[in-house]
Amino acid sequence: MTVPSIPLNDGTAIPQLGLGTWPLDDAEVSDVIQTAAGLGYRHIDTAAKYGNEKGVGAGIAASGIARDELFVTTKLDGAFQGDDRAIAGLEASLDRLGLDHVDLLLIHWPLPKRGEFVSTWRTFIELRDRGLTRSIGVSNFKPAHLETLIGETGVVPAVNQIELNPLVIRTAERAANASHGIVTESWSPIGGDGASVLDSPVIATIAEETGKSAGQVVLRWHVQQGLVAIPKSRTPSRLADNIAIFDFELTDAQLAEITKLAQPGLGVDSDLTGH
């Protein structure tokens, strides 16, 4: 299965479906990446905080897929925010991954009380210019955080990775991202562990209408709206299912029905959480 890519505002492009890797450990993630690579996954999402970058690197090496066919994202841990600490943070990630660059480096959380995301972003710009990452972006940024970042530096993130699924639809965040030309990437795209969205009768009905699984319907809801989704599974049959979503279409009415599942107030508040 070939996954389409969508353009980023810096001239690069990102595959619309990737593999989430939290909370897989080194040994498990290496196996999962090899299985996923065989199924056509070419986009992998990790983070320093996940403690599995070594396993991600081992899985990539064992997959035999050429580096330039892969899109690898990592995220800077909060401990490395401020001044030029992001340099050491990214260099340590690259060392663990066994790579000389990543495709996308994200600020994992804004940590607004620390007030260091702007200086961190200036270092990210430098890291991109040095070729240690092709693109730079953010994660869990609210519209106000983006305004500060862009206002202070003039450099717009390529991506904002946020919690987003049919229960947590983040309308304001998506509109703000779009207004700046930032691609929105969905974490917990099928609702995370315990994924209650998959138990919804609305999803079950649409799954029956389309002859697809509940997970495929939800992932299709993401990609048809121009979102990037990074579902995680340790289960080979689900890995196969999750990437087989580019051969069917949901109708506008089906998309709207799914969007109605939104539960206002659900989801993390990144002014209060993060690391």
Residue ranges binding ligand NAP (CB under 6 A) = 20-22, 45, 108, 139-140, 161, 187-193, 195, 198, 213, 215, 230-235, 238, 241-242
- Report the nearest approach of ligand NAP to the CB of residue 253 (Å): 23
Is the separation of the CB atoms in 88 and 94 below 8 Å?
A: no
- Report the nearest approach of ligand NAP to the CB of residue 142 (Å): 13
**Cβ distance to ligand NAP smaller for residue 247 or 252:** 247
User: How many Cβ atoms from other residues are within 10 Å of residue 236's Cβ?
Assistant: 14
Is the separation of the CB atoms in 45 and 102 below 8 Å?
A: no
| Both structure tokens of 75 | 């995220």
- Report the nearest approach of ligand NAP to the CB of residue 204 (Å): 12
**Cβ distance to ligand NAP smaller for residue 131 or 194:** 194
The secondary structure of the chain as a DSSP string is: -PPPEEE-TTS-EEESB-EE-TT--HHHHHHHHHHHHHHT--EEE--GGGT-HHHHHHHHHHHT--GGG-EEEEEE-GGG-STTHHHHHHHHHHHHHT-S-EEEEEES---TTT--HHHHHHHHHHHHHTTSEEEEEEES--HHHHHHHHHHH----SEEEEE-BTTB--HHHHHHHHHHTPEEEEESTT-STT-GGGG-HHHHHHHHHHT--HHHHHHHHHHHTT-EE----S-HHHHHHHH--SS----HHHHHHHHTT--TT-S--TTT---
Length of the chain: 275
- Report the nearest approach of ligand NAP to the CB of residue 115 (Å): 19
**Cβ distance to ligand NAP smaller for residue 16 or 140:** 140
- Report the nearest approach of ligand NAP to the CB of residue 212 (Å): 10
- Report the nearest approach of ligand NAP to the CB of residue 134 (Å): 19
Residues annotated as part of the active site: 50
Task: Please tell me the number of Cα atoms within 13 Å of 93 on its side-chain side.
Answer: 28
**Cβ distance to ligand NAP smaller for residue 59 or 189:** 189
**Cβ distance to ligand NAP smaller for residue 151 or 269:** 269
Rounded CA-CA distance 146/88 in Å is: 24
**Cβ distance to ligand NAP smaller for residue 8 or 162:** 162
